[in-house]
A and B are shown apart, each in its own frame.
Chain A
Amino acid sequence: MITLHINGQEHRLDLPPDTPLLWALRDTLGLTGTKFGCGAALCGACTVHLDGEAIRSCVTPISAVEGRKVTTIEAATEGGDRIGAAVRDAWVRHDVAQCGYCQSGQIMSAMAFLKSLPKGKQPTAAEIDAAMAGNLCRCGTYSRIRAAVADAARALV
């Protein structure tokens, strides 16, 4: 049994300790907002927060997150987090999503980036690109992602 703290709740899971967090979330807990894209930390679709930091859940075994706080897209954007709500609203305002499959991961990366900024700091275009460079979008929504991240940062001032 491994105990996980996910979105403020405790879950005891009877899974092998090397099970990737992604599949514990998706198949065991039904939290399907976190997406499977590559299984090898190459696309960012599975991004979640571990103690506030963006990690790739597809290569993170559940044994490595025991006792730490995991936040997924569901709680991050609709759970009262000020930055999560700002990013979500910016994503909607800019109509970022096309197919939308990668956007959970994009949003989790954007949130972690904005949380990492010193208070009041507006990110440069290059900083936004660097922060989002690990998240692939085959629909090519990057122009709108750029605009939405910058917009969310402005909204948070």
Chain B
Amino acid sequence: MLPDFFPDQLPPALRDLLERGVPAPDPAMSRRSFLKLAGLGGLALGAFPLVAAAQGAGAQADALKPTQQPSAFLHIDADGVVTVAINRLEFGQGVQTALPMILAEELDADWNKVRTRFGDNSPAYVDPAYGMHMTGGSNSIKNSFVQYRELGARARSMLVSAAAARWKVDAAKLRTASGQVLGPGGRRLTYGELAEAAMAQPVPGHVALKDPKNFRLIGHPTPRLDARAKSSGRQDFGIDVRLPGQLTAVIAHPPVFGARPRSVDDSAARVVKGVKTVVRIPLERGGEGIAVVADGYWPARQGREALKVEWDTNAVEGVDSARQLAQYRELAGQPGPRHFDADMTPLDSAPHRIDAEFVFPYLAHAPMEPLNCTVRIGREDAELWVGTQFPGVDGAAAARVLGLKPEQVKVHVQMAGGGFGRRAVATSDYVVEACEVAKAVRTAGIEAPVRMIWSREDDIRGGYYRPMHLHRARIGFDERGRVLAWDHVLVGQSIAAGTPFEGGMVKNGVDHSAVEGMREPYPLPMRLTVHHPKLNVPVLWWRSVGSTHTAFVMETLLDEIARSTQQDPVAYRMALFGDQHPRHRAALKLAVDKSGYGKRRLPEGRAWGVAVHESFSSVVAYVVEASVQQGRPVLHRVTAGVHCNLAVNPRGVEAQVQGAAMMALSTCLPGSAITFKDGEVEQRNFDGFTVARITDTPEIEVHIVPSAEPPTGMGEPGLPPLAPAFANAIAQLTGKPMRELPFRLA
């Protein structure tokens, strides 16, 4: 959901910019233990990271950063209930279960007593590798694995020290198991009994971590901690926040990005029962919107329907999809920045040629929970309740809108009903909207928290799409399928251009997030020319980002080369991998073996399809079975081979691959496209923008390559290879290559 950029490419100035909302770490924090607040009587969970009182005991841990302090992440009450803070947004990917597993492993906690709470925009909850608050790039487990292990190990060490002091024995003689410290002669103390005394122990800097062969939680399929709440309607999401006296805002957005009203007649809106006020607010790109604020969503929505607005769209560019495609084709013939280069002279003399053009549309994220944000403005502070992947960025943006200092804004991260990248916006678009409404409501003399809710139409038409892309390839190869020259052109808007991420992601005119997944890991002589046109359409990372299109292009073209030279697509790929890419080989081999590919005879009318792709440091291979029924491609069975190093929660990895495969399947179905006419989005709701249904769902089997290497992420990597594997099966059946998403049979 974020491109795979590298932390060392984030200049300090960028980090500073992104983290304006965050006060500098308090040096006193380095001496706090994990139970600071327990001594205050009540266990005020919500407050513990920000209370800055010094602990006073021991100073060995002075060098520890806020992200390494047990106090901000862990709380143990007298009954031994362990509450673990989650430094990420939970929006389905399962970190709310996997991160506590990691911490509880080293803590030797009783898993049945582990609870969680979500973090906020405090310094402790930044990604330890990136230094900013973020959930994205499939980084949560990858970057917080060691962090959460060390947090657990530090707390365990303090509990052991407390028991040693009480029993007057050497701490080295003590063991821990399932929430207890075990001493000589069968003595035992529960973590709950020791918690207060442990608080007085110094926080150790260096801690020894378990040998992975002794893991009893990590690596074991574990049910989600939120399963019961989410199976009984008891799980609250951001949209369910209810503050006393809160009002609800619905915004009339311009039909074209950046447009403004020429005239507004809100008289009918104001008399809708329940409507409190109607305010005009600035929007991105110089636009302006009208917010109807009422005592509930329905009157606000009715008020919006009653607005009479004449929009002036003359001053803004009106994108038209047909015209845009023609422009992209024109641009593809022009010289541009090069990402890869190679000698293209063998192209003209090559025995075989493929000349191909691919088109990929804009895509909406369309999380099931419509975007929303609740804002409470205080005297000299503000609080936000929002499901966000960027709480630090959003807090800073809120501070700018509200005229507050960044440290005066608290962002309470909420459980989110999906997101897929849409909740990680450099401009904080919907958060800024909510703050603008709250500010205008206050200016109108109304003191009330404001909950802004987008309708589904606002979401589908609200921009920040996966960019539309055009790819062109000219490939020369010989009879054995050896590629002699591959001349490739890619046209699409840059996601990072014009954002604080530009410096870290755009190099020599090429946005890294647009080209990720091109060429690698295949040893191909490729020249890659890239064009990033600027258009009046906001674009954004969308689950697996560049690989949503690059994997399709690479894996369908290689398959075509294999088939046109009478080679088995699996053997062809294996030969290209050589012995350089053992994870690709292992993932593909596992999928092949488990699927019965090459061994099992398929029912009449079905064909195999194969693809493998690495994204965000994990490799996923798919072997699929598909057919064409009444002119419609149908996916029957999917077998996945996954290499994500150590799978912390294999049950979660399986779910992520099943889900990513379905999201990818959506992109193949008719209607999975956002298109423009006269600058307006042509789709409005789920009737116009397709999301896969249960009736589209194949059998999906997920197999994980065993590994003890440090884990890599799995939120996104299951997505890229599904569509090309499906396309390869269909191409096999029809004899015609697939060059478009959503699929179109010629």
**Are B663 and A140 neighbours in the complex by a CB distance under 8 Å?**
yes
> Contacts A73-B233, A146-B694: A138 and B368 contacting too (C-beta < 8 A)?
yes
In the assembled complex, B685 has its CB within 8 A of some CB on chain A: yes
Give which listed residue, A16, A95, A139, A141, contacts B273 with CB less than 8 A. A16
Most chain B Cβ neighbours within 10 Å, of A16, A32, A38: A38
Residues of the A chain whose Cβ atoms lie less than 8 Å from the Cβ of B655: 95, 98, 141, 144
**Are B227 and A97 neighbours in the complex by a CB distance under 8 Å?**
yes
The B-contacting residues of A in range 101-138, CB under 8 angstroms, are: 101-104, 107, 128-130, 132-133, 135-138
Interface of A is mostly: loop
**Are A142 and B693 neighbours in the complex by a CB distance under 8 Å?**
yes
**Are B697 and A35 neighbours in the complex by a CB distance under 8 Å?**
no
**Are A38 and B237 neighbours in the complex by a CB distance under 8 Å?**
no
Most chain A Cβ neighbours within 10 Å, of B223, B233, B366, B655: B233
In the assembled complex, B255 has its CB within 8 A of some CB on chain A: no
How far apart are the CA atoms of A100 and B233 in the complex, in Å?
9
In the assembled complex, B411 has its CB within 8 A of some CB on chain A: no
Residues of the A chain whose Cβ atoms lie less than 8 Å from the Cβ of B94: 98
**Are B93 and A42 neighbours in the complex by a CB distance under 8 Å?**
no
The smallest C-beta distance from B638 to any residue of chain A, in angstroms, reads 9
The A-contacting residues of B in range 526-570, CB under 8 angstroms, are: none
**Are A19 and B661 neighbours in the complex by a CB distance under 8 Å?**
no
The smallest C-beta distance from B453 to any residue of chain A, in angstroms, reads 8
**Beta-carbon contacts of B440-458 to A below 8 Å, as 1s and 0s?**
0000000000000101110
How far apart are the CA atoms of A91 and B232 in the complex, in Å?
9
In the assembled complex, B224 has its CB within 8 A of some CB on chain A: yes
Residues of the B chain whose Cβ atoms lie less than 8 Å from the Cβ of A102: 368, 417
**Are A32 and B236 neighbours in the complex by a CB distance under 8 Å?**
yes
How far apart are the CA atoms of A73 and B235 in the complex, in Å?
11
**Are A38 and B298 neighbours in the complex by a CB distance under 8 Å?**
no
**Are A140 and B692 neighbours in the complex by a CB distance under 8 Å?**
yes
In the assembled complex, A33 has its CB within 8 A of some CB on chain B: yes
Interface of B is mostly: loop
How far apart are the CA atoms of A129 and B698 in the complex, in Å?
11
The smallest C-beta distance from B323 to any residue of chain A, in angstroms, reads 30
**Are A100 and B693 neighbours in the complex by a CB distance under 8 Å?**
no
The smallest C-beta distance from A94 to any residue of chain B, in angstroms, reads 9
In the assembled complex, B297 has its CB within 8 A of some CB on chain A: yes
**Are B659 and A98 neighbours in the complex by a CB distance under 8 Å?**
yes
Residues of the B chain whose Cβ atoms lie less than 8 Å from the Cβ of A45: 368
**Beta-carbon contacts of B290-313 to A below 8 Å, as 1s and 0s?**
000001111001000000000000
Residues of the A chain whose Cβ atoms lie less than 8 Å from the Cβ of B230: 91, 97, 100, 103
**Are B92 and A139 neighbours in the complex by a CB distance under 8 Å?**
yes
The A-contacting residues of B in range 207-254, CB under 8 angstroms, are: 223-224, 226-237, 239-240, 242, 248
Give which listed residue, A33, A36, A78, A146, contacts B697 with CB less than 8 A. A146
**Are B231 and A138 neighbours in the complex by a CB distance under 8 Å?**
no
**Are A136 and B368 neighbours in the complex by a CB distance under 8 Å?**
yes
Most chain B Cβ neighbours within 10 Å, of A100, A136, A137, A140: A140
In the assembled complex, A80 has its CB within 8 A of some CB on chain B: no
- The chain B residue with its CB closest to the CB of A102 is B368
**Are B687 and A40 neighbours in the complex by a CB distance under 8 Å?**
yes
In the assembled complex, B479 has its CB within 8 A of some CB on chain A: no
The smallest C-beta distance from A133 to any residue of chain B, in angstroms, reads 5
**Are B92 and A92 neighbours in the complex by a CB distance under 8 Å?**
no
How far apart are the CA atoms of A72 and B232 in the complex, in Å?
10
In the assembled complex, B651 has its CB within 8 A of some CB on chain A: yes
In the assembled complex, B699 has its CB within 8 A of some CB on chain A: yes
By a beta-carbon cutoff of 8 Å, the part of chain A in contact with chain B is 16, 19-20, 23, 26-28, 30, 32-40, 42-43, 45, 72-74, 77-78, 88, 91-92, 95-104, 107, 128-130, 132-133, 135-146
Q: List 28 A-B contacts (CB under 8 A).
A: A16-B273, A23-B298, A27-B297, A32-B233, A32-B236, A32-B239, A32-B240, A39-B457, A77-B233, A78-B234, A88-B231, A95-B224, A95-B227, A95-B651, A95-B655, A96-B231, A97-B224, A98-B94, A100-B229, A100-B235, A101-B369, A129-B697, A133-B693, A136-B691, A137-B694, A138-B418, A140-B658, A140-B662
5 tightest Cβ-Cβ pairs between the two chains A and B: A33-B233, A140-B662, A101-B417, A100-B230, A73-B233
